[in-house]
C-alpha cells in the first residue's frame, strides 16, 4: 500500500540520479500515453507529477519517494518517446536520456511500458520493447485510458495486442489494464510492485 509519495528530484541524465539502494520502478511510453497521470492515480495525489493535454510535458527523469523506512521505494516518471512535433533534435535528446536510464540505472527493478489501449499496436512501442528484450531490461505492459473504450472493444484490442506480441515473443509479459481517470488497475500495479519488493527482501 502507498502511504506517502513525495517528489525527490528531476534530472537530465541517469548519471546525476539519486544514489540510493531503494528498488526503483519506472513508467515509460509514448508521449501523452498517461505516464504522469497514472503515477498520480496510484499515489492518490493529482498534483504529484505534472500532466498535460499536450504531449511532451515530462522532459526530465523525475524521482518520487514512495513510503518511508523499510517500505520505501522509488517511482520514476520518464519523458515520453516519439513525439513528432518536438523536432528531431529534441526527440533524439529524449531518446538518449531514456535509453541511458534504462541501460545504466542499476536500481531499476522493472520498467512499466504504457500503451494506449485505444490504438492498434504501434511500431515504435513494439520496437522499444524488442530493444528492452535485447538489453535484458525487465518490463511489464500497462494499457492506459481504459475508460475511453467500451468493454468489448477493450478486450478485442488487448487480445489483438497479445497476438501481435506473440509473433516476436515466446512468452507474454505481465499485463495490466488501467484507467487513471477511474483509478482502475492501480491496486494491481501496486500489489505487483510490492510482491517484487517482498521477493527482494524489502
Binding map of ligand GTP across residues 143-182, x = CB under 6 A, - = no contact: -xx-xx------------------------------xxx-
Binds 31, which of ligand GTP, Mg ion, none (CB < 5 to 8 A, cut-off by type)? ligand GTP
Q: Which is nearer to ligand GTP, 8 or 72 (CB)?
A: 8
Residue carrying the nine cell digits 492518490: 44
Nearer to Mg ion, 27 or 161 (CB): 27
For 16-29, letters b (16+ CB in 10 Å) and e give ebeeeebbbbbbbb
Residue that the C-alpha cell 523506512 belongs to: 69
- Output the residue with the shortest Cβ distance to ligand GTP: 80
Closest-CB residue for Mg ion? 58
β-pairing, 24-29 vs 5-11, is: unpaired
For the bound state, the minimum distance from the C-beta of residue 115 to Mg ion, rounded and expressed in Å, comes to: 15
Between 10 and 49, how does the x/- string for binding to Mg ion read (CB under 5 A)? -------------------------xx-------------
Rounded to the nearest 10 degrees, how much is the dihedral formed by the CA atoms of 47, 58, 191, 65? -70
Give every strand in the sheet of 175-177, ordered side by side: 5-11, 61-66, 73-77, 24-29, 108-116, 139-144, 175-177
Distance of closest approach, residue 35 Cβ to Mg ion, in angstroms: 5
For ligand GTP, the binding residues (CB under 6 A) are 31-37, 51-53, 55-58, 79-80, 144-145, 147-148, 179-181
Interface residues with Mg ion (CB under 5 A)? Answer: 35-36, 57-58
Amino acid at each position: 500500500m502507498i502511504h506517502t509519495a513525495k517528489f525527490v528530484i528531476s534530472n537530465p541524465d541517469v548519471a546525476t540520479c539519486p544514489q540510493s539502494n531503494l528498488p526503483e520502478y519506472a513508467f515509460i511510453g509514448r508521449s501523452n500515453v498517461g505516464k504522469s497521470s497514472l503515477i498520480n492515480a496510484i499515489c492518490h495525489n493529482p498534483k504529484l507529477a505534472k500532466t498535460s493535454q499536450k504531449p511532451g510535458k515530462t522532459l526530465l527523469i523525475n524521482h518520487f519517494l514512495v513510503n518511508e523506512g523499510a517500505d520505501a521505494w522509488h517511482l520514476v516518471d520518464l519523458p515520453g518517446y516519439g513525439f513528432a512535433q518536438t523536432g528531431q533534435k529534441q526527440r533524439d535528446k529524449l531518446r538518449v536520456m531514456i535509453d541511458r536510464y534504462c541501460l545504466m540505472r542499476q536500481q531499476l527493478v522493472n520498467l512499466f511500458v504504457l500503451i494506449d489501449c485505444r490504438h492498434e499496436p504501434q511500431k515504435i512501442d513494439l520496437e522499444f520493447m524488442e530493444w528492452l528484450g535485447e538489453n535484458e531490461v525487465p518490463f511489464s505492459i500497462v494499457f492506459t485510458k481504459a475508460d475511453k473504450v467500451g468493454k468489448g472493444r477493450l478486450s478485442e484490442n488487448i487480445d489483438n495486442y497479445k497476438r501481435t506480441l506473440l509473433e516476436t515473443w515466446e512468452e507474454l509479459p505481465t499485463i495490466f489494464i488501467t484507467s487513471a481517470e477511474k483509478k482502475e488497475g492501480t491496486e494491481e500495479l501496486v500489489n505487483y510492485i510490492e510482491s517484487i519488493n517482498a521477493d527482494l527482501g524489502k
